[in-house]
């Protein structure tokens, strides 16, 4: 492990020895959005030196949080993704940080558009309630601008996507953040009316409950996914 260690017999200090290094949590944030190539990470973290990114990825690999996967042809590329252990341990940490930072974001009408990952973190991750998951095993897809986020809820945790998609939601990053910042149910529902959702009534209800996310009423022309 690079940098100075706290060397204290304390769980917070031990956790910070790994996660407190600069850029580490932002790398994990990126991988929570799905598997990424090294170049993808460099693009989303433009201020990190390439040798430092490689070092952080090695450290996270050694800690059992990130794995390197070689895709078979025709893709023939290397990607990095969270391990099953990381899917259990990292989301609650990022969830707490996202909740702390959400109200401190710059104004939504600013010149810089919100990145899709910010919408995913604020609109979906921040409000996930594992106590409501029960024995649910479902895969979801969130489409924000040019990014598609796929993940599952399994064994009471967020997990890597697997199997058929039960619900697909399309929204803008700004709408997801605005919905989460809204102070009353009427305002949240007004923003959510701009979402596009595909999924059965049962899938909609479960998703809305899990993520405290109001969903618009389905239109008769909307195609439903398999439950």
DSSP strand pairing (66-70 vs 165-170): unpaired
Strand, coil or helix: what is 62?
A: helix
Cα separation, 34 vs 148, in Å, equals 9
- Tell me the pLDDT of the chain averaged across its residues: 90
Per-residue confidence (pLDDT) for residue 110, from 0 to 100: 60
**Domain 11-82, classified CATH 1.10.10.10, yes or no:** yes
| Boundaries of every domain in the chain | 11-82, 114-211
The pTM (predicted TM-score) of the whole model is: 0.89
Counting every residue, how long is the chain?
227
Q: What are the tens digits of pLDDT across the range 82-122?
A: 999 999 999 999 999 999 998 888 766 665 688 999 999 99
Superfamily classification of domain 114-211: SCP2 sterol-binding domain (3.30.1050.10)
The terminus-to-terminus CA distance of the chain in angstroms comes to 45
Please enumerate in sequence order all residues whose Cβ is within 8 A of that of 161, keeping only pairs 6 or more positions apart, or say none.
139, 140, 141, 150, 151, 152
pLDDT at 220: 45
pLDDT at position 161, please? 93
What is the C-alpha separation between 223 and 81, in angstroms, rounded?
Answer: 31
């Amino acid at each position: 492990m690079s940098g100075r260690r706290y060397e204290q017999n304390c769980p917070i200090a031990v956790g910070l020895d790994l996660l407190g290094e600069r850029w580490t949590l932002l790398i994990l944030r990126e991988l929570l959005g799905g598997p990424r190539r090294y170049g993808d990470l460099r693009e989303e973290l433009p201020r990190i030196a390439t040798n430092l990114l490689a070092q952080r990825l090695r450290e996270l690999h050694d800690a059992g949080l990130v794995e390197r996967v070689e895709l078979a042809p025709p893709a023939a590329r290397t990607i990095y993704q969270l391990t099953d252990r990381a899917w259990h341990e990292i989301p609650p940490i990022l969830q707490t940080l996202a909740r702390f930072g959400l109200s401190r974001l710059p104004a939504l009408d600013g010149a810089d558009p919100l990145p899709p990952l910010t919408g995913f973190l604020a609109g979906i991750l921040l409000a996930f309630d594992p106590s409501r998951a029960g024995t649910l095993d479902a895969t979801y897809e969130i489409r924000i601008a040019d990014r598609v986020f796929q993940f599952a809820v399994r064994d009471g945790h967020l997990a890597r996507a697997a199997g058929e998609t039960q619900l697909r939601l399309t929204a803008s990053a700004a709408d997801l953040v605005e919905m989460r910042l809204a102070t009353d149910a009427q305002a949240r529902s007004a923003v959510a009316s701009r979402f596009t959702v595909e999924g059965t009534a049962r899938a909609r209800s479960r998703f809305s409950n899990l993520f405290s996310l109001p969903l618009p009423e389905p239109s008769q022309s909307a195609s439903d996914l398999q439950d």
